[in-house]
Chain A
Amino acid sequence: MLKKLKILTLLFLAILTLPVQATTTAESRGLEISRKADSKDTGFKDSTAHLTMELKNKQGQTSLRHLRVKSLEVEADGDKSLSIFDKPADVKGTAFLTFSHSKEADEQWLYLPALKRVKRISSKNKSGPFMGSEFAYEDIASQELDKYTYKYIRDETINGIDCFVIERYPSYENSGYTRQQVWVNKQEYRPEKIVFYDRKDSLLKTLNYSNYKQYEGQFWRADKMHMENHQTGKSTLLSWFDYKFKTGLSDSDFNRSSLKRAK
C-alpha cells in the first residue's frame, strides 16, 4: 500500500514537473551559454583602449567623440572602468568612473573639469543616452552574468556564422529594456549581434559587432560596434583601437583622486 502510494506520488510529481522541466531546459541552456561566454572572458585583469564614437542623426550629419577607456577586472563582482573624453574639445577632460556590480546597482561618478566638480550619478538614469549617443549607460556598463535571466531560443546562422540565439531579461532595476536577443557565436562564444526591445516590448535598437580581434590568445574584442536606433533613425559607431591588456592597473587607478586627475 505504502509502496503504491509512493509510486503514485512519484508519477503525479513527474506529470506536474513535466512542462516546468521543458522551460527550465531552455532557461538553463540560455544560462549555460551565457556562463560559458562569461568565463571565456575571465582573466583579462585589466585593459586600456582608445575609442572613437561617431554619432549620426537621421539626416546623416555626423559628430565625433574621442575617448580613452581603462578597465579593471574585479573578481566575483562587476568591473571598474574609467572613461576620459578627449573630444569634443569643450568636454575634454570630462571623466566617468563606473563600479559595475553583479547584484547591487552600479555606482557612477562624473568629473567636470571646468567646474572641478565630481558628481555622483543616480543609477536611475541607466536607460539614458551616454554622451548623446545611441548607447545607454546600461549598454556600456560591464555585462555581468547575474544582471540578466536567460532563455535559449534557437540556432541561427548569420553572415555565415553559426550562432545560438538567446534571450536575456534584465533583472536590475530601471532598465530601458524588457528583453534583448543575443546572437552568440557557437565557436568563440562572443556576441555577434544584439537586438533590444524597449519597455513596451517594441523593437528599439540593433547592435552589430564586427572586426573581431583576439588578444592574449584568449580575449575577443570587436573593433567595430554599430548601434542603430530603429525608432529615431539615429546611429552610433564605436571604433576601438590600441587595446592593451595586463598593463598593471590597480584599484588606486579607479578612485575619486584618479577621476579628478584624469587628463
Chain B
Amino acid sequence: MKKHLLTLVLICCSNNLYSMEWSGNLSVQSRLFFDEPLAVNSQQHDQYLSVAARPELYHSWDDDTQSITFTPFVRLDQHDKERSHTDIHELAWQRVFDHWELKIGISKVYWGVTESQHLVDVINQTDLVENTDGEDKLGQPMIRASTEQDWGLLDVYLLPFFRERSFAGIEGRPRAYPVVDTDLVQYESSDEERHIDYALRWLQAFDELELALSYFNGTSREPLLTPTIYNGSTVLLPYYPLMTQYGLAAQATLGNWLWKLETIHRQWLNENYNATTTGFEYTLVGLMESSADLGIITEYLYDNREQQASSFLENDIMVGLRLALNDAQSTEALLGFIVDLDTDETIISLEASRRLGDNWKLELELRSFHHLDNNSLLSSLKQDDMLQIDLACYF
C-alpha cells in the first residue's frame, strides 16, 4: 500500500508540479537540564541541541474531492541516537463523496477533549522522544471510512500495522531508569506488529453538548515495561498486550464554562479497569478590559486500579491557567500543576508560544518534578527538571 501511494505521489509530482503545495517548518531546539543526572557515571548530558524538519506536500484534484498529503518528519539530536528519528506523519489519499469520505494511508487522528491526558485517544502511538507530555504522535497506517449524517459522525478504522512507542536512548534525557531497550519488544499477539486492529467512533452534537463513543480492539499503544537482564545489564523490555477499550468523551459548552469528560473501560491482561478524567475550563473573556482571555482549568484524574495502575495518574488533580493574548503574534501560555492526592507527587509544566514576524515562532516549555517517591513510576524523572526552547521557521 505504501509503495502504491508513493508511486501515486511521484506521478502527481511529475504531472502537476504547478499545483503542488509545499509548506511546513524547520526548527532548532535546545533542551537544558538544571540538575545532575540520576545515575552516577550516567552517559546523559546537561544540554541537548537538535534540529527538526516537517515539510508538507499537498495536492488536490477533482474539484478538491481527491487529495494526497505527504508529511515526513525528521529530528537529529546531538547526543541521543533514539531521539534522532524519522517518521511519516502523513502519507494518505483521501476521497470525498457527498456525505462520506475515505482515507487510505498513514495519518493522525485526535479523539480527546480533556487537557491533562487523553484516555480515549488510542489510534496513534505516542512519540515519546519528541515530548514527554504524550501530545506528539507517530503516523498510523489506516483505512478510514467516515460518514456525517443527521444522526452523527461515524468513523470506521482498519489499522493494519502497529507502531512501537519511541523511547529515549542511553544518552537521552529525560529517560527511564534503566533504559528501555526497544530491540527486545514483545507482543501478546503472535502476529506481532502485523496484528490488524480496528476501531469505531460515533460523535453527535446535542445543542451545547458534544458526545463521542468509541471502541478499539487491537494491540495497546501503551506498553508494559518489565526489567530484564540483557547482555549483563538491566534494561526495560516493552511488552504490548492486546486490548479492548470502550471510550466516552463529552464536552458541554455553557457560556464561559467548558465541561469535559473522558472515561474508558479497558480489558487487557486478564483484568478490567476504568479510568476517568473530568473537569472544567472557565474562561474570563476580555481580561481587565483587554482583549486577552484567561482560562482556569481544573481536572480530576482517576484510575480504579489505584496504586497498581500502569499510569501514574490514578488519583490526581490538575489545575492550570491558560492565557491567550489574542494579539497579532498569537501569544499564548499554559501553566499546569498535576498533583497526586495520595503521594503529593507534583508535575509543573509551563508552555508558551509567540510568533515572531510573519514566519518565525518561538516556543518555550518548562517542566519540573517535585516530591517524587523512589517507588514511583516517575522516580526516574527526579533529576530531570527541564527547559526547552524551540525556534521554528514556517514556509
Q: Complex Cα distance A90/B108, Å?
A: 18
Interface size on A, as a range, is: 20 to 34
CB-contact partner of A122 in B21, B25, B69, B258, under 8 A: B258
Cβ of B232 under 8 Å from chain A: no
- In the complex, the answer to whether A261 meets B25 with C-beta atoms within 8 Å is no
Smallest CB-CB separation from A91: which chain B residue? Answer: B330
B310 within 8 A of partner (CB)? no
Contacts of A160 in B (CB 8 A): none
Interface size class, chain B: 35 or more
- Asked whether A67 is an interface residue with its Cβ less than 8 Å from the other chain, the reply is no
* B130: interface (CB < 8 Å): no
**Docked CA distance A92–B330 (Å):** 13
Given A88-B358, A127-B285, 18 more A-B residue pairs with CB atoms under 8 Å apart are A57-B328, A63-B328, A88-B394, A89-B395, A90-B330, A90-B359, A115-B135, A120-B253, A122-B255, A122-B256, A124-B255, A124-B283, A124-B285, A128-B326, A132-B326, A133-B328, A176-B286, A263-B58
Whether B67 pairs with A257 at a CB distance below 8 angstroms is no
B110 within 8 A of A: yes
Contact of A206 with B by CB under 8 A:
no
Contact A89 B330 (CB under 8 A): no
SS of A interface (majority): mixed
The smallest beta-carbon distance between A196 and chain B, in angstroms, is 14
A256 touches B293 (CB 8 A): no
Which of B91-99, B176-184, B313-321, B373-381 lies at the interface?
Answer: B91-99
B: which residues have CB within 8 A of A?
21, 23, 25, 58, 60, 64, 67, 69, 94, 96, 98-99, 101, 108-110, 135, 146, 148, 153, 203, 210, 251, 253, 255-256, 258, 283, 285-286, 291, 293, 326-330, 355, 357-359, 361, 392, 394-395
Which of A90, A128, A174 meets B392, CB within 8 Å? A90
Contact B291 A263 (CB under 8 A): no
| A43 within 8 Å of B (CB atoms) | no
The answer to whether A88 touches B359 (Cβ under 8 A) is: yes
- In residues 78-97 of chain A, which contact B (Cβ within 8 Å)? 87-92
Question: A122's closest neighbor in chain B, by CB?
Answer: B253
- Residues on A with C-beta less than 8 A from B153 are 255-257
* 9 CB < 8 A contacts A-B: A116-B109, A116-B110, A120-B210, A124-B285, A125-B283, A128-B291, A132-B326, A261-B67, A263-B58
Contact (Cβ within 8 A) A132 B328: yes
A108 to chain B, nearest CB (A): 10
A120 touches B109 (CB 8 A): no
The answer to whether A233 has its CB under 8 Å from any CB of chain B is no
- Complex contacts, A261 vs chain B, CB 8 Å: 67, 94, 96, 101
Contact B328 A55 (CB under 8 A): yes
In contact, A90 and B355 (Cβ under 8 angstroms): yes
A64 in the interface, Cβ–Cβ < 8 Å? yes
Q: Are A252 and B358 in contact (CB under 8 A)?
A: no
Question: Nearest Cβ in chain B — how far from A92, in angstroms?
Answer: 5
Closest to A232 in B: B291
A89 interface neighbour in B210, B258, B359, Cβ under 8 Å = B359
Residues of A within 8 A of B69 (CB): 263
* Chain B: CB-nearest residue to A126: B285
Is A117's beta carbon under 8 Å from chain B?
A: yes
**Residues in chain B near residue A123, CB distance under 8 A:** 255
Inter-chain CA distance A123–B146, complex, in Å, is: 28
Task: Please determine whether B394 and A89 come into contact, CB atoms closer than 8 angstroms.
Answer: yes
Give chain B residues whose Cβ lies under 8 Å from the Cβ of A256.
148, 153, 203
A145 to B103, CA, bound (A): 41
With A90-B25, A261-B94 known to touch, is A132 a contact of B330 (CB < 8 Å)?
yes
Contacts of B359 in A (CB 8 A): 88-90
> Which residues in A have their C-beta under 8 angstroms from that of B283?
122, 124-125
B-chain residues with CB within 8 Å of residue A263 when the two chains form the complex? 21, 58, 60, 64, 67, 69
Q: CA of A230 to CA of B278 in the docked complex: distance in angstroms?
A: 43
- Can you list, as one digit per residue, whether each of A21-32 has a CB less than 8 Å from chain B (1) or not (0)? 000000000000
